[in-house]
Amino acid sequence: MFRKKIDKTHDKISISLKNWYPESTFFTPFIVYSVVLISKFIMQILNSVKIFHQEELLNLHERENRGLITFSNHNCLFDDPFLIACLGKVDIVSKRYIAADAQNFFSRKHTGFFFSQGRCVPIVRGAGIQQPGFDFLKKVLSEGGWVHIFPEGTRNRKPEEGIQSNFTHGMAHLILSSKPIVLPFCHFGMEKVLPVGGRIPRIGNKIKVVFGKKVDLSDTGLKEIFGESCLEPSNNRDMIKKISDWSYTVLKSLEDTEKNKV
């Protein structure tokens, strides 16, 4: 839909940076409010959304300058903003940053500008953690901001089979470097709103969103989950895998619990 074919990783980073405008502009409030309202119309009027345990997110609106990472499954190109827009008032959801695929959203100047205003941050798949987008997200978290991540890394083409297990390591790196609060949520039915290859949102679908419990991954929290030695620099590579596996287990458990309800 938005993509311009770019092959080399270096070119992807260079082009996405050229088309990324991380600072707010005169247009930012207008674009944010318009996108949120349109998303709510699509999701809450043309479709229906039920959100369970939403207070888990709303209670974190004030969190004493702690960074927040929310993470979820990814079944639709526009899980964000369609779904994120429904999770709270505009002044709450407009503060989140989202790790967005550079190829899809920042390969052209006009789309890059538009998605920048929606707090999308370009991440080049396969380029590793040492890229400007990740540095920016670390800064956001260090300043107490909110970042949303799709740890599956791409849309799940077979959501009926459940969450993909091969989580990317980007979120684990952000957790280990910023020690944030993390909050998982799982959603069901978004693939029906905009199926893979679809251009126009479908109507009449029922969407369900279920929040899990927050987990404080400060030094203390990390040690409680992963052991006393988890913060030793020599263990970083091992810890990245453990955090990725842990985040998959948390999200998969949330998915399975809801699927098994009668």
Q: Inform me whether the pLDDT recorded for 203 exceeds 90.
A: yes
Domain segments of the chain: what residues? 9-259
Q: Inform me whether the pLDDT recorded for 167 exceeds 70.
A: yes
Range 9-259 has CATH code 3.40.1130.10 = yes
CA distance linking residue 27 with residue 11, whole number of Å: 28
CA distance linking residue 177 with residue 145, whole number of Å: 14
**Contact present, 146 and 91 (Cβ < 8 Å):** no
Indicate the burial class of 106 (C-beta count within 10 angstroms; 0-12, 13-18, 19 or more). buried
pLDDT at 7: 54
Q: Inform me whether the pLDDT recorded for 2 exceeds 80.
A: no
Confidence of residue 9 (pLDDT cuts 50, 70, 90): low
Write the pLDDT tens digit of every residue in 77-93.
Answer: 999 999 999 999 888 88
Q: Is 250 helix (H, G, I), strand (E, B) or coil?
A: helix
- The chain-wide mean pLDDT, for the chain, equals 91
* DSSP H helical ranges for 88-181: 90-93, 102-105, 109-117, 132-142, 170-178
**Which of residues 256 and 2 earns the better pLDDT score?**
256
135: which residues sit within 8 A by CB, 6+ positions away? none
**Which of residues 236 and 141 earns the better pLDDT score?**
141
pLDDT at 8: 63
